[in-house]
A and B are shown apart, each in its own frame.
Chain A
Amino acid sequence: EPEVTQTPSHQVTQMGQEVILRCVPISNHLYFYWYRQILGQKVEFLVSFYNNEISEKSEIFDDQFSVERPDGSNFTLKIRSTKLEDSAMYFCASSAGQAGQPQHFGDGTRLSIL
């Protein structure tokens, strides 16, 4: 069964540094998402992306965050200047897009900011 894959599984970065989290969505999916889960808390929506542009974003997704689909397969989340509170699990998801279609999640990247 096709899967969403995320790399790296764990990223350790110094505060203030830029970090890029990478995702390869399921190949025929059209909608892409990033979520964040701080340890012990709920899954929080960050951003959705369709047709090469952001379709929705949450309050969390401020100017420090950006997303890109640089080629036909990768979907990236960039944090420009990381803060301690950015430490979390970041999940990528994709869906075929039609109403009622489930989102398929990757196993996440654990981001640790020192």
Chain B
Amino acid sequence: AQSVTQLGSHVSVSEGALVLLRCNYSSSVPPYLFWYVQYPNQGLQLLLKYTSAATLVKGINGFEAEFKKSETSFHLTKPSAHMSDAAEYFCAVSDPGNQFYFGTGTSLTVIP
């Protein structure tokens, strides 16, 4: 069975600081992993995806994530936070049948 765990329901960073949002997965098969962002009153927007190609995946808005099989992790990072990055971030894993399993989300606050 597939699942994801997001450590830290709330993360606060200063503007310009490193953003690190954690995601660990559990999967009985090679996983497909995704990060989505949700701005207030909007749907989920795909940030990036890992589908067994390069382990370092670059996404939109300067975000990237690294797949580490040995740690079963897929943490999301951005070198320098911007005020517009404040949002809810969801990690997800999908199974071969394309069933998605979402984490509980991490709310990112950016402090000016």
**Contacting residue for A98 out of B41, B98, B100, B101, CB 8 A:** B98
Residues 7-34 (chain B) with a chain A CB within 8 angstroms: 32, 34
Cβ-defined contact, A100 with B99, below 8 A? no
Contact with A along B25-67 (1 / 0, CB 8 A): 0000000101010000111111001011000000000000000
- B interface residues, tally (CB under 8 Å): 24
The chain B residue sitting closest to A104, CB to CB, is B46
Instruction: Report the count of interface residues on A (CB-CB < 8 A).
Output: 25
Q: Is the CB of B49 within 8 A of A100?
A: yes
Q: List the B residue with the shortest CB-CB distance to A102.
A: B46
Q: How distant is A44 from chain B, measured CB to nearest CB, in Å?
A: 8
- Docked-complex contact A105 and B45, CB < 8 angstroms: yes
B contacts, CB < 8 Å to A: 32, 34, 36, 41-46, 49, 51-52, 90, 94, 96-105
* Sample of 26 A–B contacts (CB below 8 Å): A6-B43, A31-B98, A42-B103, A42-B105, A45-B99, A45-B100, A45-B101, A45-B102, A48-B99, A98-B98, A99-B32, A99-B96, A100-B49, A100-B51, A100-B94, A100-B98, A102-B34, A102-B49, A103-B98, A103-B100, A105-B36, A105-B44, A105-B45, A106-B43, A107-B42, A108-B43
